[in-house]
Chains A and B, each alone.
Chain A
Amino acid sequence: MLGAIWSLLNPVVFLAVFTFVAKVLGAAVDDYPVFLLSGLLSWNLFSVSLSTGAQSVVANANLVKKVYFPREILPLATVGVALVDFVLQSMVYLAFLIVIRYGFVLGSIWLYPLAFVALSLLTVAVTFWVSSMNVRYRDLQHLIGLALLVWFWLTPIVYAAGKTHEKIVTGHRLGSLFWRIYLLNPTAWIVFGFQRALYHSPDANAVLAPFTTAQLGVGLCVVIVILLALLYATWRIFFGLSGDFAEEL
Chain B
Amino acid sequence: MSIAIEIAGVSKRFRMYREKPSSLKQRILSGRVRAEDFWALRDVSFDVAEGEFFALIGQNGSGKSTLLKVIAGILRPSEGVVRQRGRIAGLLELGAGFHPELTGRENVYLNAAFLGLSHRKTDAVYDDIVEFAELREFMDTAVKFYSSGMLVRLGFACAVHVDPEVILIDEVLAVGDEAFQARCLDRVRTFQKEGRTIVLVTHALDMARQLCDRAAMLDHGVIHAIGGPDQVVREMRRTISKHDLEFAREEGSREIEILGGSLHRGADPLAGALAPGECVTLQVDLKANEPVDDPVVSFALHDGANNFVFGSDTAQHGLALGRVDGKRRVRFQLGPVPFTGGQYWVTVGVHSRDNQRVYHVQDQRYSFEVRQTEGRRDQTYVPVTVGVEEL
Contacts and interface: CB of A to CB of B under 8 A. Distances in A.
Contacts of B73: 68
B24 A66 contact: no
Residues of B contacting A: mostly? loop
B24 A68 contact: no
Contacts of A62: 95, 99-100
Nearest to B21: A137
Contacts, number: 49
Contacts of A66: 74, 92-93, 95-97
A159 B69 CA distance: 53
B99 A243 contact: no
A20 to B, nearest CB: 39
B97 A63 contact: yes
A243 B69 CA distance: 12
Given A62-B99, A63-B97, A63-B99, A68 B72 contact: yes
Interface residues on chain B, size class? 20 to 34
Given A67-B90, A67-B97, A138 B22 contact: yes
B23 interface: yes
The dominant DSSP class at the A interface is: loop
Interface in A96-147: 136-140, 143
Interface residues of A, number: 18
Interface of B: 14, 21-25, 27, 69, 72-76, 88, 90, 92-93, 95-97, 99-100, 111, 114
A137 B23 contact: yes
A68 B242 CA distance: 38
Nearest to A68: B73
Interface of A: 62-69, 136-140, 143, 243-244, 246-247
24 contacts: A62-B95, A63-B99, A64-B74, A66-B74, A66-B92, A67-B92, A67-B96, A67-B97, A67-B114, A68-B72, A68-B73, A68-B74, A68-B88, A68-B114, A136-B22, A137-B22, A137-B23, A137-B27, A138-B22, A138-B23, A139-B23, A139-B24, A139-B25, A243-B76
B369 to A, nearest CB: 41
Given A67-B92, A67-B111, A137-B21, 5 more contacts: A62-B100, A63-B114, A67-B96, A139-B25, A243-B76
